[in-house]
Amino acid sequence: GQSLEQPSEVTAVEGAIVQINCTYQTSGFYGLSWYQQHDGGAPTFLSYNALDGLEETGRFSSFLSRSDSYGYLLLQELQMKDSASYFCAVSRDDKIIFGKGTRLHILP
């Protein structure tokens, strides 16, 4: 089977940097992706890592280490609008399995 672990909540200050970690256990791993979900809305895609290393997209970066079955999402220059839930997800064959999500609280 597959399992993903990520912290349930993280708190950070506006303008700061925050890292959300994700560890996974799965066979036939293809890639790790990240999604953002605001309250009442649908998840939206942020990033995808198939290979080891860092992928940068504006204020957001995502990292993957396949040997450690570990990845993280890095959010820089935090803004109040970044308050949301963040999900990591693993792709295996045609299945995409999500973690339970990390609620990001941002303090002014």
Partner 1 sequence: SQTIHQWPATLVQPVGSPLSLECTVEGTSNPNLYWYRQAAGRGLQLLFYSVGIGQISSEVPQNLSASRPQDRQFILSSKKLLLSDSGFYLCAASRGGEKLFFGSGTQLSVL
**Beta strand 102-107 with 9-13: parallel, antiparallel or unpaired?**
parallel
Name residues contacting partner 1, limited to 37-56 (CB under 8 A).
41-45, 48, 50
> Considering only residues 26, 66, 76, 97, which one is a binding residue for partner 1 as defined by CB under 8 A?
97
* Candidate ranges 16-24, 31-39, 51-59, 67-75; the one touching partner 1 (CB under 8 A): 31-39
DSSP E strands in 6-108: the ranges are 9-13, 18-25, 29-37, 44-49, 53-57, 60-65, 70-75, 84-92, 95-98, 102-107
101 binds partner 1 (CB under 8 A): yes
| Range in contact with partner 1 (rule: CB under 8 A) among 19-27, 51-59, 62-70, 83-91 | 83-91
